[in-house]
Structure 1
Amino acid sequence: MIRVFHDWSGIPPEARGASVALGNFDGMHRGHVEVLRAAHAARPDAPRAALTFAPHPREFFRPDDPPFRLMLEAERAAALEAEGIEILYELTFDRAFSLLSAEAFIEEVLDRGIGAAHLACGADFAFGHRRGGDVAMLRAAAEARGIGLSIVPHLDDAEGPISSSRIRRLLQDGYPERAAALLGRPHAIRGVVAHGDARGRTIGFPTANVALGRHLEPARGVYAVTVRLADGRMVKGVANIGRRPTVAEGAISRLEAHLFDFSGDLYGQEITVSLHRFIRDERRFASFDELRAQIAADADEARRLLSTV
């Protein structure tokens, strides 16, 4: 199991001396994986670690922004563990930490705090108060302290550098399959199934309802999805993300997934819904009969799109 530390002081000896990948790692896309692998390749003898922050610095500095996260903390930790990370320094990003100078971040956190043996980061990594430190500064400071450093160039595709912001735009524009190519897997939303108004059940399409919370809201509409249940089973389905204008105009956006060929009580269980293809925009229907017919057509289309998944 991955070990998680939220404070750099008092790190036990066995959690020091690691080869540490630095970054926010929101979404854990293919570029992030390159940084993790570079850290391990440089010091395969050292424990594998990542250093990141919670909350995301953007959430701290701009709390009124709409939710933008591709992954929340528990999802990120699980993704890092899946990539072989043994130690996660998930440092609390608060006002005191935001005022820490770049020099103090290197000395107090990276050197004396976690005792890093090696560091790896992207070429645009910035750190410290007002992002005052860059990779040139980090290189000089690490060398002076006998700490190795791997600077990993951007991982590019035909359209440019792979980045979390680019993935967010693709999801908001309704291209989950293109986002998946950058992530290395389909984008997923994880959450606890909550009670809804049971409207779907009354028209023959019961749904598992999950609040988006701090997750980025992708394009509103209908998606072909796969759902991983709490017991590990995978189920195909069709999902709507949005405000359900036919039945609940003005409500908060949420995800509602109808699982194919499934019966059972999922309330209170955590599920993970992976978005594969966007089927259509969300829209208002004149009647529940019209809505029921459209959902049936959406389900048929989702089954077709998922036939090779």
Structure 2
Amino acid sequence: MTKMPSDFAAQSAILRLTSDLSGAEPLPAHLRGSVVAIGNFDGVHRGHQAVLKKTLELAKMRQCPAVVLTFEPHPRSFFNPEQPVDRLTDAQEKAAILGLLGFDVVVEQAFDASFSGLSAQEFIDQILIERLGASEVITGVDFHFGTKRQGNPAFLQQAGERHGFGVTLIEPFTDEGGAIVSSSRIREDLAEGDVVAAAALLGYHYTLASVVIKGRQLGRTLGFPTANMALPLQTGLKHGIYAVRFRRADGTLYDGVASFGRRPTVDSDGSALLETFVFDFSGDLYGEFCSVSFFAYLRGEEKFDSLDALMVQMHRDEAEARAILSGVQSLSQLDSYLTFPDVAADAD
């Protein structure tokens, strides 16, 4: 089994292309001629993984680098900044997952006014040929590019024939029920608190990551100290209590129970916060970049009549979460890397 680096985010090979298209350097010579997967890949879900798997297979067969070209910010957030997309994976987490899957480089193209103004042919010339020197491009059959989405798969294939690079188009990936796997479906599941259904589409357990910040420290006085994380306002996960696994920056994993919401018993007017009671841990996590993976929805937020009543329920939540987490199984090798302690221990 492949061992997971203790700080897998830092180990991912990330090459960020400048948004100054006229002055950016091309990929270094040893990375040119690569097989390139193109897409937003938000969530790196099972549908994305079909595109990525084909890319890795071709790169291995041809003994050349495997590269991902992705875009930051998400194009929908660029065009509609007042309603940014609820990202399933931020740039760092996405790059980390792509690194774990086996990619040599993640090329993160700035999606800004200059880039969005490129014509479809300019995208071919400046990005695929001059910058990347791609020998093969892998993408979904619904891929569009260039200003006003003027470039489509047929245009890409014709350009490949003219310029000497191959094009492989992947049909939409469907789940066991025949429905297309998409980031939108996953967001809908998360909005209902159905993290089990979301995990089935992702191929791993949904994960949120952020820096641990200081809170009011009320949990400490109640015997339930929590690691608190502020999340983007657009985070669409249903408010409630969840059984989770908590990963420290060094890769160490702990079981826990997390509350995501506005804490109606103690702080009804507060902004949404992710608070994780980490089982069997004592120490200082402030300032540490950690992640929380969601395994089960336990209950919704409630406003209790007293702190004593809240504490009684918290003990019940802890017992239920421990029972659930003691019996969970990995969904995939990627899920094992991210959320299962035996693999983390092997990496040490």
TM-score, structure 1 length as denominator? 0.96
Other-structure match for 2:225: 206
The alignment of Structure 1 onto Structure 2 pairs a total of residues equal to 309
Between the aligned partners of 1:266 and 1:10, the Cα distance in structure 2 is 39
Other-structure match for 1:27: 43
Between the aligned partners of 1:204 and 1:268, the Cα distance in structure 2 is 22
Whether the 8 Å CA contact 1:189–1:215 is kept in 2: the answer is no
Between the aligned partners of 1:56 and 1:16, the Cα distance in structure 2 is 26
Task: Percent identity, please.
Answer: 43
Q: Does 1:196 align with 2:210?
A: no
Other-structure match for 2:7: none
Match of 1:105 among 123, 127, 130: 123
Deviates more, 1:100-109 or 1:72-81: 100-109
Between the aligned partners of 1:66 and 1:289, the Cα distance in structure 2 is 39
Q: Which residue identity is paired with 1:274?
A: S
Between the aligned partners of 1:294 and 1:58, the Cα distance in structure 2 is 41
Match of 2:102 among 67, 79, 84: 84
**Per-residue CA distance 1:218-254 (angstroms, 9 max, x = gap):** 0100000011112221110100001111111221111
Shift of 1:34: 1.3
Q: Which residue identity is paired with 2:191?
A: Q
Alignment of 1:55-204 (within 5 A): 55-65=73-83, 67-157=85-175, 158-204=177-223
Between the aligned partners of 1:207 and 1:251, the Cα distance in structure 2 is 16
Q: Which residue identity is paired with 2:192?
A: D
Shift of 1:115: 0.9
Whether the 8 Å CA contact 2:84–2:234 is kept in 1: the answer is no
Whether the 8 Å CA contact 2:76–2:84 is kept in 1: the answer is no
Between the aligned partners of 1:122 and 1:91, the Cα distance in structure 2 is 18
Q: Which residue identity is paired with 1:247?
A: V
Shift of 1:159: 4.9
Q: Gapped runs of 5+ residues in structure 2?
A: 1-10, 329-348
- Alignment CA distance shift 1:23-1:198 (3 Å): same
Shift of 1:5: 2.6
Q: Which residue identity is paired with 1:103?
A: Q
Between the aligned partners of 2:179 and 2:134, the Cα distance in structure 1 is 32
Other-structure match for 1:258: 277
Q: Secondary structure at the match of 1:290?
A: helix
Between the aligned partners of 1:79 and 1:298, the Cα distance in structure 2 is 30
Between the aligned partners of 1:18 and 1:200, the Cα distance in structure 2 is 51
Other-structure match for 2:237: 218
Between the aligned partners of 1:214 and 1:96, the Cα distance in structure 2 is 27
Whether the 8 Å CA contact 1:46–1:117 is kept in 2: the answer is no
Whether the 8 Å CA contact 1:72–1:215 is kept in 2: the answer is no
Between the aligned partners of 2:302 and 2:33, the Cα distance in structure 1 is 55
Shift of 1:67: 5.0
Shift of 1:292: 1.1
**Per-residue CA distance 1:100-131 (angstroms, 9 max, x = gap):** 11121112111122111110001111111122
Other-structure match for 1:295: 314
Between the aligned partners of 1:19 and 1:80, the Cα distance in structure 2 is 14
Other-structure match for 2:295: 276
Shift of 1:28: 0.8
Whether the 8 Å CA contact 1:26–1:69 is kept in 2: the answer is yes
Q: Secondary structure at the match of 1:100?
A: coil
TM-score, structure 2 length as denominator? 0.86
**Per-residue CA distance 1:115-173 (angstroms, 9 max, x = gap):** 11110001111111122211111111112111111111111011501111111111111
Q: Gapped runs of 5+ residues in structure 1?
A: none
Whether the 8 Å CA contact 1:122–1:154 is kept in 2: the answer is yes
